[in-house]
Structure 1
């Protein structure tokens, strides 16, 4: 995400990735309506054997993010409006695996390469979790993940306090089809619920949908039970 009018064009992106050893530009072209001034409106970028499409570059229309209600370390001078952005999506051959950890990991790594080399990039939007992540926080969480650290649960997922005080994850369903739900009767401390949620996301994100109750260890070693809701959309977290 950039301030209005600060998005790069294709030439600026090409120049930015020239020194990135892991990244190559494998293709470029015009959008359905043609490109203004003959400039490419999208680029196909290659990283770790996977291709991703970058669109929204100037002088074409930018990506307009909406309802990014979960913000992490976003610069105060960025303002309430999320600005305008370029959009990075898995290529057609990855469409069926877009929510798998290897594809998201490569996508996040490519995003970090672009953010690091485009000084005007102030934040990154991850729409499955409705998050807007500040530049430095995004780079730190992705670099830590790529170095063998935990899945960046606070950024690629989020946690919100619902009406009635319950804490619920947002974005985990993109990976597993289910969100975590912490009833405030069992988890009256929201911060503790979020801490446990971050640990559980790291455990769950590589697996699939959970159909039956399972027991896992929390950060303090205490057991918790994850019980699917009646409609299967949520995993209710219970103590014991």
Structure 2
């Protein structure tokens, strides 16, 4: 049985809490609700017409269309891509979507994420319980690559990790992953360093049901510990989690793996 098949049944049965899958599109704010009140040179959130125009030109990464637009609530649309539906909410001229402020930034200063207006892309209601399945995440990432060209877009956030990425950074890293490259660990997850120097993942639990903590070796630089943590995240997302015990890591090191009491954190020591 491969490693993915050896995951604890409790993870697959949903005992581990998973945050809702979703991309957040961050836009420069407006001074009011009309075109005349918008801040000069700073486009606001798109409306449904802007999304329809973008859909008509889509296909560089994935083709998509508007499959539903409620007449009584024109501030959200349903998008269809690869047979899957996603809700895009917070469109102008309605109020922006409410999301938690990002805690980690890639490709732009975190300070640039303050005071922005948001549009959110989430799975449709019938896919909500399956939002962490990789085909759905990959389709959402592909849609994010297409939406990254919207005027005024400041950043793209991945909600389960509380991150924000510059649009070009998102296109590059997510696009490379979709073409067979490495999982975009710095963006779809994040890393935090403990006082002891260990690197702990943020957001990996969405995919696996647990986070990762990689202990640093004596004298090892934080950058080297982080680089290995990124490689481990790619390996775990692609192949499934490690069971307790010793395993050969992606760099050939022997990894001693153990879990905390509630199996929410995988400790790895080399």
TM-score, normalised by the number of residues in structure 2: 0.78
Runs of at least 5 residues in structure 1 that lack an aligned partner in the other structure: none
Q: 2:203 aligns with which of 160, 167, 171?
A: 171
- Partner in structure 2 of residue 15 of structure 1: 53
Following superposition, the deviation at residue 164 of structure 1 comes to 3.8
Deviation (angstroms), 1:27:
0.6
1:1-240 alignment, distance < 5 Å: 1-5=26-30, 6-21=44-59, 22-29=63-70, 34-35=72-73, 40-74=74-108, 79-81=112-114, 83-116=116-149, 118-184=150-216, 188-206=220-238, 212-219=244-251, 221-239=252-270
Deviates more, 1:193-202 or 1:104-113: 193-202
Deviation at 1:82, TM superposition (A): 5.1
Q: 1:82–1:197: structure 2 CA closer, same or farther, 3 Å change rule?
A: farther
**C-alpha deviation, 1:25, in angstroms:** 1.0
**Cα distance in structure 2, aligned partners of 1:202 and 1:58:** 37
Between stretches 56-65 and 130-139, larger displacement belongs to: 56-65
Confirm or deny: 8 A CA contact 1:46 1:52 kept in the other structure.
Answer: yes
Task: Quote the Cα distance in structure 2 between the aligned partners of 1:173 and 1:134.
Answer: 23
Cα distance in 2 between the residues matched to 1:171 and 1:193: 18
SS at match of 1:138: helix
Q: More deviation in 176-185 or 49-58?
A: 176-185
8 Å CA contact 1:211–1:232 kept in 2: the answer is no
Take 2:148 and 2:187, find their aligned partners in 1: how far apart are those partners? 15
5+ residue gaps, structure 2? 1-25, 31-43
Whole-angstrom distance in 2 between the partners of 1:51 and 1:90: 7
Distance 1:174 1:82, change over 3 A: farther
Match of 2:34 in 1: none
- The answer on whether the counterparts of 1:176 and 1:207 sit within 8 Å (CA) in structure 2 is no
For the 8 Å contact 1:159–1:170, the answer to whether it is kept is yes
Task: Say if 1:64 and 1:83, in contact at 8 Å, map to a contact too.
Answer: no
23 and 29 in structure 1: CA distance in 2 versus 1, 3 angstrom threshold: same
1:152 is displaced (CA, Å) by 0.9
How far apart in 2 are the matches of 1:148 and 1:207?
14
Counting matched residue pairs gives 229
